[in-house]
Structure 1
């Protein structure tokens, strides 16, 4: 841009990844026209840089973009192997390439301005928002949707990371069952503090994503992830001599009960993880991110401010804090926790609970299936910690982990478990 005058728009999307791409597609889908839109990001996202997996009902606008979907999934613990029938839901895999392509087509129809620059500052005066960019005049917008990674407003009482590595494996013979995915397999070695599991998402009988995931406070080394993946591949009985690693995916997602501020100023709205779309106890993000995009587009189509509802009910955020505390203190084991959930509840209820869309009555049934005394102790500890937080001076907010800040591609917790 050669002019020193900021680009003037009605809506600016700061960050051009998955959240912004879903917003552009939703604006196009809901027929929003005549709106001046800009995307501000130093990178124009294309191709397969990440994979999401999620569950929902068939028949959505995402169906033509999916790489695969499954009506059956397995949950494996040392105690049992369960085959879950998900109907009327299905588990689905969505790679980033088709999402970016759909967003690019929406950009053309919406006549979106693309500003390839890093953002230095965002200033909201209550009437307009000025976005200052590196080496350019910036953008002035009526509303800003900001999906850049941000730390929580204060440190959480529990601060974990969901971190993972996946291999896209091509086999020279038919070794995968394309009709069934492995949702969670807890036969992996469990860390001293945290939870680990593997999973398998087959696209065909010869091509699949195999991934190793940990919920824990600290990252592994690259060699550590590879060793864990090799061990899980062997656990699945796959012969490495008959396999080729075609792609590698890595990801890091914050798991914390620290609050994310979804509306930091009158005309700035945060989306994605920064806007609370990541479920703290599981790392699930995509479904909430999709809901945010749809709500934004519906609001703009109706002439309302583009402010989505909270990603999850407050009671779910409280339950997440309790569950994280119980897992972090070791009073509840991860494999046992999920084993009891799937053993004592219909699969659909558990999946909707993990996605934050259950009713209070369903949530009571789910929580009743966990071990009572450890969860009561975690609830009491969480309440005491909340009281201490109110009475003590605020601590500095820890920085965003480098892997999250630098945008390593989330695979299956985005790909979710």
Structure 2
């Protein structure tokens, strides 16, 4: 038989993934009287260890959790020609989930009223005066937590209606070679020398951690995910035939998939219940990048709570979402060649401006200039047809969490 009790907090964050940890981290800075971070207990609901990567300029408070960084980026075109860029003040950073979790947990335990609760969140709903979360503790005990506001990062059971849906899906190997085969100063963001699928695009991704260690990944933007055997075959081909790694050991693997869609994600699920992370639209539709947007959204939420405002700002601007919708449709319809499109962006647009564009930080004038460096006719044709396309629903395929 289970027992039941009720507890109270000023704010509750549900989920210990990237979005939940980012928000809990920022809320420790504004110091609400009581803050509870609910994470799944050990078991099938608890995510495996993973990495998150993002680019940033300056200090952002995560330095303790950054395990590696790169100031030089490289893209390999399908023709084999590399594009090497040094995006000024930006660095590409890797955060391991365990390191970030320890950082946030430490700040919570050191802050007055902060805590981490290992429990399974069964339901979240608004109630008079705030919201409540019904949980099951590892021993089977039931617990209801009430708060003025609840921020829910759990994945949605189904995606909102959309005109275009692709999936960014990947599998990565942490490899160790018998000799130094990697340049730790250069991160390969996109390597289009891999065989391309009949629909969508594929690329390799290499983050060197030492001359003899790296995260090597195979990624696709397409409508459907692959089997583990298909990912493994693609990775083996990439490592041996393209990177030329004849002898290596796979020490650890990572795998995930996230939606790339022009669906509208409601940021509010009740009067006092707010969605954050991918569930709240933080994933950038055309790139799959989520971690930087989750940080930006978390800073905005923390500022709103500090100032007494009860709103959750949008993680991406309307112009950025409109441009992403066009690009997604153009990719899905085959009107543009994905590898050429992304390679040419890095060849033709200054790196610092391009990274700000991909992060939604460019002006209208800058975006107009970038647009002129893309295939103009296919993009205009796609923009003209989008308003007439119906939005349709489809269940979410949940296979992991983006590391970006």
* SS of match in other structure, 1:383: helix
**1:410 aligned to 2:398?**
no
Give the TM-score, by structure 2 length.
0.92
CA distance in 2 between counterparts of 1:63 and 1:208 reads 21
Structure 1, unmatched stretches of 5+, are 390-394
Q: CA deviation at 1:114?
A: 3.6
CA distance in 1 between counterparts of 2:252 and 2:297 reads 30
1:26-45 equivalent positions in 2, closer than 5 A: 26-28=26-28, 30-33=29-32, 35-43=33-41
CA distance in 1 between counterparts of 2:351 and 2:128 reads 46
CA distance in 2 between counterparts of 1:27 and 1:188 reads 43
Residues 46, 97 of structure 1: alpha-carbon distance in 2 compared, 3 angstrom cutoff: farther
Which of the residues 257, 267, 270 maps onto 1:265? 270
Residues 114, 61 of structure 1: alpha-carbon distance in 2 compared, 3 angstrom cutoff: closer
Q: Deviations over 1:112-146 (max 9, x none)?
A: 34443322222213522122224513211110000
Larger displacement relative to structure 2 (164-173 or 19-28) = 19-28
CA distance in 2 between counterparts of 1:117 and 1:169 reads 34
1:182-331 equivalent positions in 2, closer than 5 A: 182-241=188-247, 243-305=248-310, 307-331=311-335
Q: CA deviation at 1:4?
A: 2.8
Correspondence for 1:380: 384
Q: Deviations over 1:232-254 (max 9, x none)?
A: 1124433332x111110001001
Q: Deviations over 1:158-183 (max 9, x none)?
A: 11110000000112221110111111
Say if 1:132 and 1:138, in contact at 8 Å, map to a contact too: yes
Correspondence for 1:172: 178
Cα RMSD between the aligned structures?
A: 2.1
* SS of match in other structure, 2:143: coil
Correspondence for 1:392: none
Correspondence for 2:60: 60
Q: CA deviation at 1:47?
A: 9.8
Correspondence for 2:121: 119
Say if 1:128 and 1:143, in contact at 8 Å, map to a contact too: yes
**1:5 aligned to 2:9?**
no
Aligned length: 396
Q: Deviations over 1:196-241 (max 9, x none)?
A: 0001101111111000000000011111001111111124433332
Say if 1:326 and 1:378, in contact at 8 Å, map to a contact too: yes
Larger displacement relative to structure 2 (272-281 or 12-21) = 12-21
* SS of match in other structure, 1:215: strand
Say if 1:52 and 1:410, in contact at 8 Å, map to a contact too: yes
Say if 1:50 and 1:249, in contact at 8 Å, map to a contact too: yes
Correspondence for 1:84: 85
Say if 1:251 and 1:410, in contact at 8 Å, map to a contact too: yes
Q: CA deviation at 1:155?
A: 2.1
Say if 1:249 and 1:410, in contact at 8 Å, map to a contact too: no
* SS of match in other structure, 2:394: coil
Q: Deviations over 1:76-113 (max 9, x none)?
A: 11233111111121111111111000111012023334
Residues 46, 146 of structure 1: alpha-carbon distance in 2 compared, 3 angstrom cutoff: closer
CA distance in 1 between counterparts of 2:286 and 2:178 reads 38
Residues 294, 373 of structure 1: alpha-carbon distance in 2 compared, 3 angstrom cutoff: same
Q: CA deviation at 1:351?
A: 1.2
Residues 165, 122 of structure 1: alpha-carbon distance in 2 compared, 3 angstrom cutoff: same
CA distance in 2 between counterparts of 1:63 and 1:338 reads 30
Q: CA deviation at 1:5?
A: 3.2
Q: CA deviation at 1:330?
A: 0.3
Residues 57, 189 of structure 1: alpha-carbon distance in 2 compared, 3 angstrom cutoff: same
CA distance in 2 between counterparts of 1:172 and 1:129 reads 55
Structure 2, unmatched stretches of 5+, are none
* SS of match in other structure, 1:398: strand
Correspondence for 2:102: 101
Larger displacement relative to structure 2 (337-346 or 325-334) = 337-346
